[in-house]
């Protein structure tokens, strides 16, 4: 398994260069069939290569095409998440490319058949969901200021004054807010994990990607329990009304739990 960029080392004259290579999205049960009009990277048709009880979702791409645009990433995720609605999925990392169909069969499927088959069996009926919470800026800042006398004093010092005269106070207030947000994020994440614990103990806490992120948790959950998940998150949203906005993403492929590196070869 190689990256598409490895093809940059081919001879410049193109002698012996492959007309196409196989981009591999995921491992799925052998009875999965892509939709007739399903397309992936660079709008290439999705195909399936089977071996025994398992299969790979693939498409042909030009070996000279570079990968990594937002459209490429979206196409990769679209195939994985769409498939996860109907079957268990073992995602491969973005950019997994092999030379041809024989390589898909021999280097990927045959070599790891029992491992893949066992993992797919364990994932039957499960999918990943993302639980995300975002602080309401005005509300969380007011909460921090109300709880912290020093922050409240700094805010009063800043209010109505020119920025150039309150530079140090603004920095100090920003530091207090930043440190307090970290503590609140940790506490609110623990509360969310406790709320989710009756549903699943297979969880991954993601690092925040925005200053106002309150919660970012990936869970592996039985799809049949989605209604319970929605009720649990809805209860949290009601509890944190106008403080944290909550949302659920999914069902999606189990990226945080079974994403595999590109097999060697």
DSSP string, 23-85: EEEEEEETT----TT-B-GGGPBPEEEEETTEEEEEEEE-TT-----HHHHHHHHHHHHHHHT
Domain boundary among 69, 94, 124: 124
**Whether residue 143 is found in the same domain as residue 118:** no
How does residue 63 score in pLDDT terms, banded at 50, 70 and 90? Answer: confident
Residue 239 or residue 259, greater confidence = 239
- The CATH number for 238's domain is 3.30.70
**Whether residue 133 is found in the same domain as residue 120:** no
User: How high is the mean pLDDT of the chain?
Assistant: 89
| Mean pLDDT of the region 43-48 | 95
How does residue 12 score in pLDDT terms, banded at 50, 70 and 90? Answer: very low
**Whether residue 184 is found in the same domain as residue 249:** yes
Asked if pLDDT for residue 7 goes beyond 70, the answer is: no
Closest CA to 54 of 260, 252, 221: 260
**Whether residue 131 is found in the same domain as residue 242:** yes
Asked if pLDDT for residue 3 goes beyond 70, the answer is: no
- The answer to whether position 54 is within a domain reads yes
Name residues whose C-beta falls within 8 Å of residue 192's C-beta, 6 or more positions apart in sequence. Answer: 131, 133, 215, 217, 236
pLDDT (0 to 100) of residue 13: 46
pLDDT (0 to 100) of residue 136: 97
Tokens, residue 57: 């979702």
Q: Is 210 exposed, middle or buried (0-12, 13-18, 19+ CB in 10 A)?
A: exposed
| Mean pLDDT of the region 115-144 | 95
Q: Which domain holds residue 102?
A: 4-124
**Whether residue 177 is found in the same domain as residue 252:** yes
Among 11-25, 134-148, 162-176, top mean pLDDT goes to 134-148
Asked if pLDDT for residue 11 goes beyond 90, the answer is: no
Residue 264 or residue 246, greater confidence = 246
pLDDT (0 to 100) of residue 4: 42
pLDDT (0 to 100) of residue 160: 81
- The answer to whether position 171 is within a domain reads yes
Structurally, the chain folds into a number of domains equal to 2
Domain boundary among 101, 124, 147: 124
* Range of weakest confidence among 156-160, 190-194, 239-243: 156-160
């Amino acid at each position: 398994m190689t990256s598409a960029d490895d093809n940059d080392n081919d001879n410049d004259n193109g002698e012996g260069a492959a007309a196409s290579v196989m981009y591999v999205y995921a491992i799925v049960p052998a009875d999965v069939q892509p939709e007739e009009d399903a397309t992936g990277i660079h709008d290439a048709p999705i195909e399936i290569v089977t071996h025994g009880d398992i299969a790979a979702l693939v498409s042909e791409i030009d070996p000279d095409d570079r990968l990594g645009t937002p459209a490429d990433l979206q196409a990769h995720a679209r195939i994985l998440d769409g498939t996860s609605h109907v079957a268990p999925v073992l995602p491969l990392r973005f950019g997994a490319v092999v030379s041809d169909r024989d390589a898909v069969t021999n280097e990927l499927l045959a070599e790891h058949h029992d491992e893949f088959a066992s993992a797919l069996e364990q994932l039957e009926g499960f999918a990943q969901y993302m639980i995300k919470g975002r602080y309401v800026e005005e509300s969380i800042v007011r909460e921090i200021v109300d709880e912290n006398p020093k922050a409240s004093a700094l805010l009063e010092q800043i209010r109505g004054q020119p920025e150039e005269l309150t530079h140090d106070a603004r920095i100090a207030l920003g530091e207090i807010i930043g440190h307090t947000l970290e503590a609140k994020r940790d506490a609110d994440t623990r509360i969310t994990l406790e709320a989710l614990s009756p549903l699943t103990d297979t969880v991954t806490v993601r690092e925040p990607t925005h200053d106002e992120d309150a919660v970012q948790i990936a869970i592996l959950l039985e799809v049949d329990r989605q209604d319970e998940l929605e009720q649990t998150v809805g209860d949290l949203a009601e509890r944190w009304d106008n403080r944290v906005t909550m949302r659920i993403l999914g069902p999606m492929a189990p990226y945080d739990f079974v994403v595999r590196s590109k097999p060697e070869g």
